[in-house]
Amino acid sequence: MPIRNRLTQILGIEHPILLAPMDLVSGGRLAAAVSHAGGLGLLGGGYGDGGWIEREWTRAGNARIGCGFITWSLAKHPELLRRVLVHQPAAVMLSFGDPRAFAPAIHSAGAKLICQVQTVAQAREAMEAGADVIVAQGTEAGGHGQSEPLITLLPQVVDACPDTPIVAAGGIADGRGLAAAMMFGAEGVLMGTRFYPSREAEAHPEAKHRIVAAGGGQTVRSIVFDLSRRNRWPDPYTGRVMRNRHSERWLGHEEALEAAAEQVERDYTVARERGDFDIAGVIAGEACALIHDIPQAGEIVTRIIGEAERLLPTRLGGIG
């Protein structure tokens, strides 16, 4: 039985799968592929590059997509939200900051507001903002986040927000993860790491292959890669990336890294440009241990939905 619930109804999608708006990786081709497969693709608006967003929206063609922003960064460049709303996005996702200042404009434009949270307190703040969907992000997720595991955070957010569909994020890469999340009360999943090694993702081939080759325990949550880019985030956020020679050198030696910040940043920038991922970071979560191929994004959606539908009791089918 197809999975139909409040999430699919509110977002107008066929399958309860959302693409995480990975900064620069979730481009127009990837967002469109996920949406065409029945999920919802979200452009990685990230820190805010207006030219990139415009180019990638064009590349998405006629696909019904949305866009995600880092909220504290968007507050420095609020005009970027206006530029996105002109495109009539299906949704705007806000993460890492208070969404309340942006919620009225998003809703006035007819878009749905998706808020990603890492704590129950943030979930309540998202409800005050009128979030249509709340994403509970566990510490297993790639990129920035906090420390609570999804398995304990998710049911707490579900219990705190009974009138809002909750989406699970962190460590999910297959239909088993979707089915398990729904048993905890989620109505869908948001995935980044699983879509990073897809054919449409705007990522270096070597970075994709490193995710595919990874086993368990090969990611780390720290501030090393932020310090290396001289891009310090507000507390208590840290970033999860794959371990490499650079992380092993500087973990536990962050003060020394900051003392050598100018040279480290130069070396890091060069490494990113030439695809040297012994130094540059591959921003991926714990789900990399479950990923073994680089298929088209549409195949990922189809595969996950098919597996979850076989595993879930039919009683979980809601609106249909």
pLDDT digits (tens, 9 = 90+) for 33-55: 999 999 999 999 989 889 999 99
Structure tokens at 150: 């999804």
Alpha-carbon distances, residue 32 vs 131, 203, 245 (angstroms) = 24, 16, 35
Give the pLDDT score at 21.
97
What sign does the dihedral 86-39-50-70 (CA atoms) show? positive
Residue 221, beta-bridge partner list: 240
Task: Say which CATH class 6-202+292-316 falls into.
Answer: alpha beta
Give the pLDDT score at 1.
66
Positions of CATH 3.20.20.70 in the chain: 6-202+292-316
pLDDT at 156 over 90: yes
pTM score: 0.95
Give the pLDDT score at 195.
98
Sheet with 66-70, edge to edge strand ranges: 17-19, 188-191, 166-169, 133-137, 112-117, 91-95, 66-70, 42-46
Residue 203: CB atoms within 10 A of its CB come to 22
pLDDT digits (tens, 9 = 90+) for 257-313: 999 999 999 999 999 999 999 999 999 999 999 999 999 999 999 999 999 999 987
pLDDT digits (tens, 9 = 90+) for 221-250: 999 999 999 998 999 999 999 999 999 999
Amino acid at 84: V
pLDDT digits (tens, 9 = 90+) for 53-107: 999 999 999 999 999 999 999 999 999 999 999 999 999 999 999 999 999 999 9
C-alpha to C-alpha distance for 171 and 273, rounded to whole angstroms: 28
